[in-house]
Amino acid sequence: MKIIYTFIIITIILFFTSNCKKEDYSSSPSINFIKNVDSGYISKDTALKQDVKFKFGIYAKAIGKKNNINRLIIYVDDKICFDTILNINPLRIDYIAYKDTSKVNIWKFKVVDRSSNSDSISIKISLAQ
CATH classification of the domain holding 107: 2.60.40.10
Q: What is the pLDDT of residue 3?
A: 76
Pick the residue with more confidence: 99 or 7? Answer: 99
Q: Tell me: pLDDT of 31 over 80.
A: yes
Measured between its terminal Cα atoms, the distance across the chain in Å is 90
Q: Count up the domains in the chain and report the number.
A: 1
**Average pLDDT score over the chain:** 87
**pLDDT value, residue 21:** 58
Give 84's contacts (C-beta < 8 A, 6+ positions apart). 71, 72
**Residues β-bridged to residue 27:** none
pLDDT band (50, 70, 90) for residue 75:
very high
Q: Residue 18 above 70 pLDDT?
A: no
Is 48 within the bounds of a domain?
yes
Tell whether the model's pLDDT for residue 15 goes beyond 80. no
- Do 74 and 96 contact (CB within 8 A), yes or no? no
Parent domain of 118: 26-127
For residue 15, being part of any structural domain is answered with no
